[in-house]
Amino acid sequence: MRLWHTSLFALSYVAVWAASIGDRHAGRRRCSSVSVWSPAAASDAGLVSASLALERALAPAAVLAAAALYQLTAAKAACLDQCRSPLNFVLRYWRPGTAGALRLGLAHGAYCVGCCWALMLLLFVGGVMNLAWVALLGLVVLAEKLAPPAWHASRYTAGALAAGAVLILL
């Protein structure tokens, strides 16, 4: 029975992430994140003109700016507080039975999505398949999770993201 409850917790947690990602391109031609989000790469590849490439610089800058702003919200702070200590979360919200395991997985998944959705959106700025970018974002998430709350790691992340948005626009 423990294995069933643990599996249900894990599956419901993953289901929340899967629902938040979804298939946004169903039925449409898929585009490379490089051509959509990297104006220089798209222009170099001859996919767009230089003027269109400059216009496309607004999208990644806007995503960085939006992620920077979200880092400073109370919602981000509340979700990060719940994600910092999974054990405390489980001890606080655990309820016996199948319904308890399902509820716990859904709640923990929701808090983690609430904590990291803006950072995951940044994958489209640096390239979804860019392993260096994925590793960098993973380190940012890890630093925010492990840093003591008094360090306000989200504020430093917000500053870096805002600086990146400005650099793209310049």
- CA gap 170, 166 in Å, rounded: 6
Burial class (CB in 10 A: 0-12, 13-18, 19+), 62: middle
pTM, rounded to two decimals = 0.72
Half-sphere exposure of 80 (CA within 13 A, CB side): 28
Tens digit of each residue's pLDDT (9 = 90 or more) over 10-60: 888 888 888 877 655 444 444 333 333 444 544 455 544 445 455 677 888
pLDDT the model gives residue 37: 41
